[in-house]
Amino acid sequence: MNKKIINGALLGLLVVAAPACSFVSCKDYDDDFAAIRKEIAADKADLVTVKNDLNGQITTLKGQLDAANKKAAEIEAKLADYAKKSDLDPYAKKTDLDATNATVQAQATQLQNALANIATLETKVKGLEEAKAQLQTLIDGKVDKKEFNDKVADILSKIQAAQGDVKALEKACNEKAENLVKADKALSDRIDAQKSVIDAFETRLHAVETKNFLSAEQIAALQKVAVLEKGVADNAKGVADNAKNIADNTTKLVNLQQALDQVKADLADVKTKLADRPTKAEVEQMIKDQVDPIKEQIVKINERLNFLEYNLLVGLELIPDSYYRGIEAIESNQFSYNKWNVNKVVNGVVEYKQAPSQAGGAPVLTSRYAEAVYHLNPAGAKIDTAAANFTYLPIDRAYRGTNSAAVIKVKKATVENGLLKLVLDIQGATKDIDANKMVTTAALQYKAPGATPRIITSAYDAIYTNQFSKLEIFDLDKNQVAGVDKGHETSGWDINNEGDSLAIAKMIRTNGVQKDGTTIAMDQNAAEAVSRLTKNGFHYEYRLVKTAANDKSYEAFTLDSKTGLIKANYDAKKPFVNVGKTATVRVTLVHGTEDVATLGFFTVHISQKDAVITDFTNKNELKFTCSNNENAADAYSAKVEDLAKVIKDKASLEANEWEFVKNNAGELTQFTFSNQVAAAAPANKVLGQVKLSADGKNLVWDNIKKSQVASLKAGETVATYVKVQKKGDASVRFYVQLNYNPATEQAAPVATFAGKRISNDWFKNNIRTDEQELRMHFYIEPNNTQFNRFDKFMYSINESYLNGTVKIAPLTGYSQAVLSSVHSGWRFVMPKEDVVPGTDGKMYKLTVNNTGSELYANGKKIAQITNDQVGTIELLNNPTTQVLLNNAGHKELNKLQTLTARVGYVTTVCAQGEEKVVKTNGDTEFDVKFLRPLDLNFEGAVEFTDANIGTTTQSLAFANIANFIDWRDRNAAAILANDHVTLENLYGVSAIYVANESEWTTDLNGSNISNTKLVQTFGDRGLHMNGGTAVVLPPSALVPGYAAYDVNHLPSFTYTTQQKAFKDYHVRVPVKVAYSWGAFDAHITVTIKGTLNNDTNNTRRK
């Protein structure tokens, strides 16, 4: 309410001229304000009196209800088991019921008095509203001092206090009515309980009347009836006495008849007394007669209280939808337009015969439409929304209010969520400050229906009219005003040919010029369901236009005339038949049923997404090639006439109406295609060349390079696309998919090895027993008749094959680039055992270089093939080769013993860098073993016998070591006899290293000879070494724990007898033999023999 008063004050200030003080004195208002304050104070006192009176009446009613509850409790106690007439008499007498009725009547009278007080209070509230109206009149006259604001605040606080008292009174009435309803319900419940007890009592009496009195049990039942008159308090005792009497009389059968007679007499008395009781129907009627009037009064009271609680509308407050010069206002809209004469619609299509024309003369003015929304106070107030209950009181305000020329009618009213929504029709002009120097204001008045209606009036708010003219259809997509005739359409919209649609309504709106000359939008778009236009009776219509007598472009479209949804007609069998077609659409803004207020013409064009219209598949074999620049397949051709037939069927284009898209070189441009979007293929996505044949009849796809399909396999597909388009309209375009899907892939060549072995040169492989192997040894120079030294390993594999057989059968069926690049030769291939041990205790990884010409151990080259055509293999003499070559003797040919390489006859195609190894059939791979040249075994060379006198000495010499042999199994004597050179000179033996005595091992006492140290375990056993000529060696040649001796001046072993008759045992002395290819490990085994037989007779020594 404060807000309304201030708004009113602002409105008054706006329209009241400054000189007003000269006509009305500000002092004149003081008396008026004092009178208002006095009246409000009196009203407040009356409200307090009414409130106190109501509180007293509520207290009285509470006491009366408590008394009624006490009486009801007594009735329930009496009727707990059964009831007698004498028990019911105090409560069933008419005088008592009349008294109860009188009490209820008195309560109803009190409530009526309270309601009368409420009516009086309403009158006082109305008086307050009139005081408010007087205050409004004062405000309209003059508002220019601070004192006025203070007085307004004082009045408002008193009005709010009065409203608070009204709410308190309503609450008290509600509570009082609620208590009365509860009392009524409790009384009804007690009466219902009384009826139930009476019914039970009558049932028991009936049972007594129907007894035949033939047994002791029946007599007991009748005696119980006889004592009913003693009262509820004596009932239990009477039952006990009867039980005792029955027990006593069982032995006195002679008195049975007397007892029966007495019972019959008592029964007659009971029947007589029961006749005086009211019947069930009589009791129900008594209840109905006394209670129903009370219930009716309670219903009326509830209805009145409900009215007070829910329907007491006390205020209406406008929620402004606009502001007029800063004042809360209701805006009404009026439209002005000149009608358009347009071509008629025939069979759903506009027959365009002449340009639309606009009528002259005075424009059409629509009615003034407005809407107003008000807050209800309270928000839950229930009001009758019939339009007749609402009235607007308009005033045109200048210095003083005068009746307005505008008549405001409520057409429709609705209430939702505490808001009153009104649809208004304003007849007559509203005032404009600029033009009329005044403004139209109006207050909403609500008059509740009924005999004594309450009238609620809102504050006055400004009402003004915003008039719109020069209506135009506006293209939101192109951001321009639509043309109003054919040939001046805005640039068209595109829709897809595949049945896609376009909502034209969302692409346009209507603009208009408002009162101040600015152009604004009349709606967000034509699809907006509620807008200024729709509220004022406008709607849009959409029509396809037949622009000429033979025009059929519209047939490609379907258009909903009401919603503006346009679709391209689509035929799945001819999906592209409508692509490129354009139709004209007319949009009209219609007022009412047929007045065209404005219009616009547009074009809609059927475009398409990039689409594949057909495809061709190249199944040519994927060739084996050497270079990525070679062609991967033979040329492929497709007939252009086949393509032309597809285009005619699906797009209705003749062969002379379309063309291929080509690049500057005359080739067909290639495209990529993804998610219905085509793009010119980058260089790395181009697949060969696509051209037209010289006669133009064939599409030729050739020069697909191997690099472009490097990962393609048979059955897989790669694709490229070429484009055809309509001549003169590049937007109509289709793509032809060219697939390369090789049915087969040309296998790599397979060679066949023709070599035939000379069987004498080959040995069975001890590791892979299904293979044969070559064994390489020192190279023997054939022309050297006087041998000096065997200083190298070298061998040509071809020497182990028949002449002219080391080759492959010729290859055919491949490109010249492949056939001209065939090369076959001997190569190292990866050994089967590629991690091998050396004499230094390390393991070595064997590898082969890329060309197979070199063999490596831990990255160090140890062998090479110097001529792959004859297979010349050479073992290189270096430290790595030596530790591997000397790992095993020439007869140790098992796994991880003799150094073994693997060699194969390998065929390749293609130039170096692109070389490809092809499969070669035949026995092309085998092991090559490099035999150690020299072995030395001292087993059995030295022997001593114990119990000889003193010390025995035995010298070592090559001449008496029979097991020193070479790879040919020749000992030193045989070498000298046959090779005419000493063994040490032939193989370059430079020294023999003998281990120190601390490193000697033994099998004495059953020990393990490989690791049991003799001296460390058993002490000095008399075996020693001395003499010999030591060799002076550079530090790098020294071996820790060993002493080096000249091969021709070796030391001697001496043995001192131990005076023991023991069994034989052995001592192993480690040695190393150094020669031209490194050093290898050996040992001397010394045997110590015993002198006694190990017999069981214990033969004594002689």
- Per residue, the 3-state secondary structure of 467-502, as one string, reads EEEEEEEEECCCCEECECCCCCCEEEEEEECCCCEE
Question: Which range is least confidently modeled, 114-118, 135-139, 273-277, 672-676?
Answer: 135-139
Q: Is the pLDDT of residue 433 over 90?
A: no
pLDDT band at 454 (very low <50, low <70, confident <90, very high): confident
The answer to whether the beta carbons of residues 740 and 687 sit under 8 Å apart is yes
Q: What is the reported pLDDT for 635?
A: 94
Q: β-strands 595-607, 490-496: how paired? A: parallel
Average pLDDT over residues 1025-1032: 88
Q: Is the pLDDT of residue 406 over 80?
A: yes
Q: Is the pLDDT of residue 88 over 60?
A: no
CA atoms within 13 A on the CB side of 66: 6
The one-letter amino acid at 140: D
Please indicate whether residue 554 or residue 164 has the higher confidence score (pLDDT).
Answer: 554
Average pLDDT over residues 946-955: 71
Average pLDDT over residues 235-259: 50
CA distance 163 to 170: 11
Question: Which range is least confidently modeled, 3-7, 386-390, 1012-1016?
Answer: 3-7
Q: Is the pLDDT of residue 197 over 50?
A: yes
pLDDT tens profile 866-890: 999 999 999 999 999 999 999 999 9
pLDDT band at 906 (very low <50, low <70, confident <90, very high): very high
| Domain locations in the chain as residue ranges | 315-607, 612-740, 750-932, 935-1089
pLDDT band at 1057 (very low <50, low <70, confident <90, very high): confident
CA distance 290 to 15: 67
Question: Crossing angle of helices 85-92/94-141, nearest 10°?
Answer: 30
Question: Which range is least confidently modeled, 14-28, 248-262, 346-360?
Answer: 14-28
CA distance 830 to 848: 6
Question: How many angstroms from the chain centroid is the CA of residue 897?
Answer: 65
Q: What is the reported pLDDT for 554?
A: 93
The one-letter amino acid at 649: D
Token duo for residue 305: 């209280």
Could you count the other beta carbons within 10 Å of the beta carbon of residue 611?
19
Token duo for residue 809: 């059968």
Q: What is the reported pLDDT for 453?
A: 73
Question: Which range is least confidently modeled, 32-41, 371-380, 509-518?
Answer: 32-41
The answer to whether the beta carbons of residues 65 and 179 sit under 8 Å apart is yes
Which 8-state DSSP code applies to residue 799? G
Q: What is the reported pLDDT for 56?
A: 59
* Rg of the chain over all Cα atoms, to the nearest angstrom: 65
Q: Residue 270: which residues within 8 A CB-CB, separation 6 or more? A: 205, 208, 225, 226, 228
Q: Is the pLDDT of residue 119 over 60?
A: no
Torsion of CA 13, 17, 21, 25, to 10 degrees: -70
Best mean pLDDT range from 74-78, 449-453, 660-664: 660-664
The one-letter amino acid at 132: K
Could you count the other beta carbons within 10 Å of the beta carbon of residue 68?
17
Average pLDDT over residues 367-375: 92
Q: What is the reported pLDDT for 977?
A: 83
Could you count the other beta carbons within 10 Å of the beta carbon of residue 755?
18
Question: Which range is least confidently modeled, 24-28, 591-595, 1048-1052?
Answer: 24-28
pLDDT tens profile 638-648: 999 999 999 99
Best mean pLDDT range from 219-223, 436-440, 828-832: 828-832
CA distance 698 to 701: 10
Token duo for residue 142: 């003059």
The answer to whether the beta carbons of residues 251 and 257 sit under 8 Å apart is no
Give me the sheet containing 793-796, strands edge to edge: 793-796, 872-875, 860-867, 854-857, 843-848, 835-837
Please indicate whether residue 456 or residue 69 has the higher confidence score (pLDDT).
Answer: 456
Q: What is the reported pLDDT for 33?
A: 46
The answer to whether the beta carbons of residues 636 and 620 sit under 8 Å apart is yes
pLDDT band at 8 (very low <50, low <70, confident <90, very high): very low
Q: What is the reported pLDDT for 1028?
A: 86
Q: Is the pLDDT of residue 395 over 70?
A: yes
For residue 495, give Cα distances in angstroms to 541, 570, 583, 588.
20, 12, 11, 21
Q: Is the pLDDT of residue 293 over 60?
A: yes
Q: What is the reported pLDDT for 1096?
A: 39
CA distance 907 to 819: 12
Three-state helix/strand/coil letters over 845-896: EEEECCCCCEEEECCEEEEEEEECCCCEEEECCCHHHHHHHCCCCCCCCCCC
Length of the chain: 1102
Torsion of CA 207, 209, 211, 212, to 10 degrees: -170
pLDDT band at 973 (very low <50, low <70, confident <90, very high): confident
Q: Is the pLDDT of residue 687 over 50?
A: yes
pLDDT band at 380 (very low <50, low <70, confident <90, very high): confident
Q: What is the reported pLDDT for 562?
A: 95
Question: Which range is least confidently modeled, 59-73, 279-293, 698-712?
Answer: 59-73
Torsion of CA 545, 546, 548, 554, to 10 degrees: 110
pLDDT tens profile 1009-1027: 999 999 999 999 989 988 8
Please indicate whether residue 30 or residue 550 has the higher confidence score (pLDDT).
Answer: 550
Q: What is the reported pLDDT for 728?
A: 92
Q: Is the pLDDT of residue 760 over 80?
A: yes
CA distance 118 to 128: 15
CA distance 490 to 504: 13
Q: What is the reported pLDDT for 103?
A: 55
Strand, helix or coil at 80? Answer: coil
pLDDT tens profile 316-334: 899 998 888 888 899 999 9
Q: What is the reported pLDDT for 397?
A: 76
pLDDT band at 702 (very low <50, low <70, confident <90, very high): very high
Considering the chain, what is the average pLDDT of its residues?
79
Question: Which range is least confidently modeled, 408-412, 416-420, 956-960?
Answer: 956-960
Q: What is the reported pLDDT for 774?
A: 93
For residue 847, give Cα distances in angstroms to 464, 837, 864.
102, 14, 12
Q: What is the reported pLDDT for 662?
A: 95
Share of the chain above pLDDT 90, in %: 46
Q: Residue 433: which residues within 8 A CB-CB, separation 6 or more? A: 14, 325, 439
Q: What is the reported pLDDT for 270?
A: 55
The one-letter amino acid at 318: L
Q: Is the pLDDT of residue 11 over 70?
A: no
The one-letter amino acid at 352: Y
The answer to whether the beta carbons of residues 902 and 828 sit under 8 Å apart is yes
Q: What is the reported pLDDT for 79?
A: 46
Q: Is the pLDDT of residue 422 over 70?
A: yes
Q: Give Dmax over CA atoms of the chain in angstroms.
A: 178
Please indicate whether residue 301 or residue 1099 has the higher confidence score (pLDDT).
Answer: 301
Q: Is the pLDDT of residue 108 over 80?
A: no
Q: What is the reported pLDDT for 1033?
A: 87
Q: What is the reported pLDDT for 781?
A: 66
Average pLDDT over residues 403-414: 87
Token duo for residue 1016: 């460390």
Q: What is the reported pLDDT for 797?
A: 95
Q: Is the pLDDT of residue 40 over 60?
A: no
For residue 105, give Cα distances in angstroms to 99, 178, 493, 1012.
10, 17, 83, 134
Question: Which range is least confidently modeled, 35-39, 691-695, 736-740?
Answer: 35-39
Q: What is the reported pLDDT for 963?
A: 65
Q: What is the reported pLDDT for 233?
A: 43
Q: What is the reported pLDDT for 106?
A: 58
Q: β-strands 1042-1045, 991-995: how paired? A: antiparallel
pLDDT band at 42 (very low <50, low <70, confident <90, very high): low
Question: Which range is least confidently modeled, 129-143, 843-857, 964-978, 1071-1085?
Answer: 129-143
Strand, helix or coil at 301? Answer: helix
Q: What is the reported pLDDT for 24?
A: 34
Query: What DSSP assignment string belongs to 222-233?
Result: HHHHHTGGG-TT
